[in-house]
């Protein structure tokens, strides 16, 4: 089949690949530059998390009402922004229409 040279090559490759991977990915600078920013992207910061979980029904209802009002306010802002963009686009297109006549 392959002979002793092939076996030596395979053995060297089996040892070389994991050692190089450990040296490359185990470097603290690589971890700091590549893993930590991605972790910050995936998980919210502690100031954005809510640690006090409501335990009784009134607190749960109040929290749900707060969440719903926040969502409604964000949706109204988003719709207002979309409406302003549409008005600007309409005004821009109407100006372009009169240029050609």
pLDDT in tens, 71-92: 999 999 999 999 989 888 887 7
User: Is 24 within 8 Å of 30 (Cβ atoms)?
Assistant: yes
Domain range holding 59?
Answer: 55-94
Residue 6 lies in a domain: yes
Residue 100: inside a domain:
no
Position 99 in a domain: no
pLDDT beyond 70 at 99: no
**Residue 3 φ/ψ region, left for φ over 0, alpha for ψ in the -120 to 50 degree band, beta for the rest:** left
Same domain assignment for residues 65 and 30:
no
User: Residue 87: inside a domain, yes or no?
Assistant: yes
| Predicted confidence band of residue 2 (pLDDT cuts 50, 70, 90) | confident
Q: What's the number of domains the chain is made of? A: 2
Q: What is the pLDDT of residues 26-62, one digit of tens each?
A: 999 999 998 888 888 888 887 777 777 888 999 999 9
Answer for the pair 92, 86: CB distance below 8 angstroms, yes or no. Answer: no
* pLDDT at 16 (0 to 100): 96
């Amino acid at each position: 089949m392959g002979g002793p040279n092939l076996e030596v090559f395979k053995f060297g490759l089996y040892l070389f690949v994991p050692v190089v991977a450990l040296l490359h990915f185990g470097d603290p600078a690589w971890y700091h530059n590549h893993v930590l920013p991605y972790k910050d992207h995936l998980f919210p910061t502690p100031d954005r998390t809510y640690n006090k979980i409501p335990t009784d029904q009134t607190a749960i209802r109040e929290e749900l009402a707060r969440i719903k009002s926040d969502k409604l306010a964000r949706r109204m802002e988003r719709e207002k922004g979309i409406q302003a963009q549409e008005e600007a686009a309409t005004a821009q297109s109407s100006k372009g229409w009169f240029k050609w006549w």
